[in-house]
Amino acid sequence: MMTPDDPFINDAARTFAKRVADADIHAGITQTPEGIEEVAAAIVSFMGGETVFSTEIASRLRQAASEGYRERLQFLKSISDRIGGC
């Protein structure tokens, strides 16, 4: 049985955030750093459903989601730079 502190759950938060970043870019949405943190918090809330995560676990999941979002933005920027900044 998985628990909220399972590494798979951290990876899920990171991956979910990458998909949200993809959707935001596709929709022309640019998030501020504060906006990215709000997105990360929303992802953790969505993932938890009716479960209440401990403060420590919620913080770790928000961090993973925030990092995932930023990683995707950096990845997309590097691709854009390579093909001439489309």
Within a domain: residue 86?
no
The pLDDT-based confidence of 86 (bands split at 50, 70, 90) is low
Average pLDDT, whole number, for the chain? 90
For residue 54, what pLDDT is reported?
87
The pLDDT-based confidence of 4 (bands split at 50, 70, 90) is low
Within a domain: residue 28?
yes
Residue 60, domain extent = 8-80
Distance (Å, rounded) from C-alpha 22 to C-alpha 16? 10
Q: How many domains does the chain have?
A: 1
Within a domain: residue 85?
no
Element (H, E) at 3: none
Question: How is residue 44 annotated by DSSP?
Answer: H
Average of pLDDT values for 17-28? 95
Within a domain: residue 25?
yes
Total-model pTM: 0.84
Question: How is residue 71 annotated by DSSP?
Answer: H
Within a domain: residue 61?
yes
For residue 27, what pLDDT is reported?
94
